[in-house]
Structures are given as C-alpha cells and as structure tokens.
Amino acid sequence: VPDVDQKVSVFKMQEYDDHYTISTSVVTCKIERDNFHISFSDNITGTVMVDEPNSMHWEENVDFGGYYIYATKKCQPEENFFGLGDKSGNFNLRGRRFENWNTDAYSFGWNQDPLYRTIPFYIGMHNQAAYGIFFDNTFKSYFDFGGEDVTKTSFWADGGELQYYYIHGPHMMDVVKRYATLTGTHPMPPKWTLGYQQCRWSYYPESKVKEIAKQFRDRKIPCDAIYLDIDYMDGYRCFTWNKKYFPDPRRMIKELSDDGFKTVVMIDPGIKVDDDYWVFKEGKDNKYFCRRSDDYFMEGHVWPGRCQFPDFTNPKVRKWWGKLYEEMVDMGVAGFWNDMNEPAVFGSGTFPNDVRHNYDGYRGSHRKAHNVYGMQMVRSTYEGLKKLMRNKRPFTITRAGYSGMQRYASVWTGDNIATWEHLKMGNIQCQRLSVSGVSFCGTDIGGFSGEPDGELFTRWIQLGTFSPFMRAHSAGDTAEREPWSFGEFFEDINRKFIELRYRLLPYLYSVFWEHHRYGFPILRPLVMLEQEKISNHFRQDEFCYGDKLLICPVLEQGAISRQVYLPKGKWYNFWTNEVLDGESEHHIDAKIDSMPIFVRAGSVIPEYPVMQYVDEKSITEVVLNIYNSDYEVNSYMYEDHGDTFAFEQDIYLEKKFTVKGDNQFLKVNQRIVGLYTPNYEFYACNVMGVNFQVKKIIVDNKEVKDFHTDDKNILHFKCLKNFAEIQILSL
C-alpha cells in the first residue's frame, strides 16, 4: 500500500455488553465479543453488506508449518461478484473458486486458473449496493464465491496474516476509487504510449526492423513504437546487444526516432551465469541474487540457459537494478518490457519454496515473496528509469504483478491465442483489470500463438482501438501479423481504426488523467453504470471508455450486425449521429468495416488531426464534437506537455465543458484550470443533434458570422480556444 494523503474519516467506537461498534457517518462495523463475528452495515439503508456465519479460523499447515488462515462471509441469494484482475472466464465471478499464484500460463484457456497476476480484491453487490474486500496477503491465496457452498463466500491463504480491508460503496465506482486510494493509480504515461505499438518475437536483424518501420510510413498507417524481443540480446544476456544483428544500436534507435518510432526492449529477470558477463559479475560479487535455505544461490534455466535471479525484495538490489538501464536510456531506448517475472523457470515452473528473500529487511521464504516478485522487479525498473530520465516519464510493461503494480507499469493479458474465444476473453479480462485498479491494460492483438485470418485480426484491431494499451504481438513461429498482412481490403479497415485511435487521442489522454488524478477506471463495464439492473451483472461484451464512449465490439465470426444495450439517457451512433434511447436494446449494423460505438448525449469529444505518430506536427486547431442534450452534461479535456512531470507543478490545463440545450437553443460553457499553454488558438466545432434552425451563434457576447449546417445536419463553426460561453440560438 503506497503512502498517500488520505481524507480522515470521523468515526466513533462504542462498547456494549455483547459487542463493539466502530461507526462513521455511512458505515458501521460490528464485532461480537464472544465469537469475534464481524459484520458491516450501511447506515443509510440499514442493509447488512457483509456478515459472517462463523468467525475467522485457521488450521495447521502440515507442509510448511504455520497456519492456513480463513475468512468466511455470508453469500446473499442475489449477490454477485467482480474483480480479481485478469482471471479468465465470465466477468461475474459467482459460483467459481480461484487461486492466486503468479503463473506463466502460455496459451491459457477459458476458466484456466491461476494466471500471471495476483490481485486479491473483489467487489460484492447485493440489494443494489456494492462493497469491496481487499485481502492484502501475498502468500498463495484462494477465493470461493459460492462455489463450494452457495450460502458462503470465503477467502484464505497458505500463510501470513488475515489482513483485509472492507471498502464501502454503495456504488461500484465508489469502491473502485477508494481501492485506488489504498493501492495507487497509474502514473501519467508519455502520450506516445497511447498510440499504436507493433511487436513480434522477434524483429531482427536491423534490416527487418527498418523494413517494418518503412512499411508503416509508406502505407500511412500510424504507429509510435516498435518492440525488440529477446533476440536483440547477446545470447539472451539482459542489457546487451547482439552486434551481428544490431551492429550499431545507437544509430538505429536514432534513425527510428527521426522517423517517429520509439524503441521498446525486453528485459527478463534471469541473469546468465557467466563470470565474463558484467551484470552477473556485479550481482554475484554483491550477493544480489536469490539464495536457497542452504545459502547456495538459487539457479534455474530460462532463455540464456543456466541463470541466477536478483532478489527484488531487497532495496539495495532494486537500486542496483534501476541503474543498469543507464546505457540503454542514453542510447535512446524509450520503453522497457519486463517479462518472465512470475518468476518463470523452465521445467520447475518457478522458484522452489525454500528460496529466501530479503523482503525489505523482514526475511521470508518464496511462499511469501512469489506473488510480489514481478511487481518488485518492475518497481526497480520504473524507479531507476525515473531517476535516469530526469523530467521525462518512463514507460514500463510487466507481465506479472500484485495489487499496486499499476504505480509502476502497464500490463497485457499474456500469451493468448488467435481464436475468437480469446478475443472475447481479452475483452472481459481488460474490463476486469480496469475495475481491479489496473487500467493501463491490453491484449496481444491478433493473438500471440496460432494463426488469425483477416477477419479475426481486424475485429481485434477494432477492440484494441479502445484498449488503453494498444499493441499487436505474435510468436516467431507464426505468420507475420502487421496491419497489412491480410491484404488490401483488411489493411484499409485496420488503417481506418488506427487513425480513429489517433483522432481520439485527446479524449483517451483526458480519460487517463481522470484515472491518474481521481482514481476512475478507464474501462467501465455496464454493471458499473447501472448496478441496480440485475441483467447488467451478466453483460460483459460492452463497456464504456471513460464516461462518454460506449464500445460494443464484434466478437462473433461472420457477424454483420449485433444486439447492443444502451444504458439510461440518450446516445448518438458515432458513425451516423442517429439518436437512440437508453435503457433499451437495439439491433445495430456491424459489417466488417464498422464496430458499434455510441456517444453519450451532452458529451464534448475533442479530436486531433490524424498523424503518423504522436506529435508528428504542431496542432493548429482542435476539433470539438459537441452532442446536443436536453439535460446538463459535463465533459473534461486534459492537456499538458505529454512527456514531462511539469503537470505536478500545475503546468497543465483541465477544461470543463457543460452542454445544455432544448428545441430553441444550445449552450456550451467552458471553465479552464491550470497554467499550460497549448500551441493551437482555435476550436473547430462540430455540433450534432441541433433540432432547430440556427439563426445566430454568440461566443462570449460576439456574434459568429461564418457558420453552416451540412447535409448530415452537423453544424460547423470556429471559435477561440479560451471561450467561456457559446450560445446557439433559433431566434
């Protein structure tokens, strides 16, 4: 749990003959004297949110010593459960049991468990109210949501303490935001990381990397990053280069940068046992590698062969590891990808349980450290990069992690498969990660293993356009998988959606700010929007990106339309501007060149011109897409330098737009906070849904003479970027 400024709740404790209570203005915790039963109640409604059929309990762990510790709660008849991070299978967890033990789950299947990450946080929901439980225990842990006994929800661990946080709602959004105050949010990323990124195991030699870069630019398909997997290394030794494949990496990185490409490289934890290898020699001499109970170094085989592994739970090791990136940062490498950090070991799967870890001075076995090993590795990477890059924002990716990993890295869902089932699964996993605190997430677009056809790859690009982390990745024994790999027909559609990603970049970036600053999840499942509707507890193929865009991906092979559910309110079809009623289902065309997207009425959606990479050219004007509404709606736009920490000194702009209209007028207000000055001076305003004949437009008491309505009934005009009020009038 990070050190964060917390609002102090006023509470009181009272003692009674048979119980104690601890109360705030909204929630009461009751503790029975005789049996230590614990319950939590909502003070407004009187609803008992969490109750216990029996108190905490434990049993001896005959394998390792110590105790298994258990907590059992009542499972209400209509209660449903969400969270736990990237678990596969249905979004609603009711009726299932889960295990948390970070695992290299290559080509994992539906309902396979455990996977790569441990996020022991879930959201329960019953009686139209939500609460959260964060079981902060790093040992192997388990959750059972009415799987063994439909009347009980249980969580337990193989060791450690029964330490958990109760997080009160009553709204699901309240729970997720309060969980973020405990475990943190993602740092603001470099803006280029929200662009399209291309990866493969592996692009080599240099000529192949250059060819991929040239194809993107020649075909006018936007792309911001090219990845180098493990084959760029000398014998898979981390922090080295294979000079046969990459004779002058500094020059190559510079040339890629000149063409708008950032270089991202992989770094694994396994350090080859080789006394002539400087990283191994430093680690060995300083005793930075993990040791077993007999004090011998722990060794295992991974890509370089025989390896030893840094103990990232040791603060001295973390500091050393962070400094190892210096030469690569100096070369211009822009991002780092920490893989294999479950930790994965060939043959045995992971470390033996008797490996000893420093654990910040509180020594313990691998049973305690296993689930945090990956997070501590990427923490070392991020903190080192933050020092080395000074005022530039680091970009890191991790495969494994624990609750709180979002403070240091983005994630992807791991080594998936090129199937329609995995397309559906990835959609659910990213929603689940987002409500579990890890919003900067995505999938390997197209599938890591297996062979997608053009239709599957294109549908994945469409979904990936609205994944916070958008990266295509594939294994080396599969056919090439770039946006042009399936012929001109699919290439044109893929280009269209990647360009849409870049057009919407100011909106996507603003949503990221809302997550970073306020703890809002980036991806929001329908249950988060309308938790009072039980049917939404089981809807899992639609989600909102931020508060304003509803995304309805096409997940069935051969589909040319799909049924969508629109939450309450009015919604505009993004492609046609048709206005549809919420709280109802609609059948929407969804041919291969389209994907249903809807915009909440009253929204203001900013757009940039299409670029081949982020900040390719200076922006001279920003498009504001304004969607009329007969009720007041607020929208936000965030701007800053895009790659520095100057926003921490208030060098940013946070703009609040308020839209309100009827059948005679439409008013748009803007309020601006912050000290950043963007380069552009004008907004190009496109107003949708104006259902009256426009006679006059007034901006800050000055009439706009030049405006027109096109054949799609979209009103167009321009205004200065710092306007306070726009009035669109019929009189």
Query: Catalytic residue numbers?
Result: 339, 342, 415
- H/E stretch holding 659 reads strand 653-661
In angstroms and rounded to an integer, the radius of gyration of the C-alpha atoms of the chain is 26
Distance between CA 387 and CA 392 in Å, rounded? 9
Q: What angle do CA 635, 641, 644 make, to 5 degrees?
A: 120
Q: At what angle do helices 488-503 and 505-518 cross, to 10 degrees?
A: 50
**Residue 83 and residue 121 in contact, taking contact as beta carbons nearer than 8 Å:** yes
Residues sharing a CB contact under 8 Å with residue 278, sequence separation 6 or more, in sequence order: none
- Work out the burial of residue 533: count CB atoms within 10 Å of its CB; fewer than 13 is exposed, 13-18 middle, 19 or more buried: middle
Residue 431 CB contacts under 8 Å (≥ 6 apart), including other chains = 91, 523, 524, 525, 540, 543
Written as six digits, the tokens of 511 are 């949503």
Q: Beta 117-118 vs 401-402: how paired, if at all?
A: parallel
Rounded to whole angstroms, how far apart are CA atoms 598 and 566?
A: 9
Q: What b/e sequence results for 430-453 when a residue is b if at least 16 CB atoms lie within 10 Å of its CB, and e otherwise?
A: bbbbbbbbbbbbbbbbbbbbbebe
Chain centre to alpha carbon of residue 332: 26
CB contact at 8 A, 224 and 496: no
User: Can you tell me the distance from the alpha carbon of 122 to that of 93, in angstroms, rounded to the nearest whole number?
Assistant: 9
Residue type, 540: Q
Q: How far apart, in whole angstroms, are the C-alpha atoms of residue 720 and residue 684?
A: 9
Cβ partners under 8 Å of residue 281, min gap 6: 275
Tokens 């081949």, located at residue: 612
Can you read off the two tokens belonging to residue 578?
């048709």
Cα separation of 172 and 132, whole Å? Answer: 8
Return the closest-CA partner of residue 642 out of 448, 527, 510, 469: 510
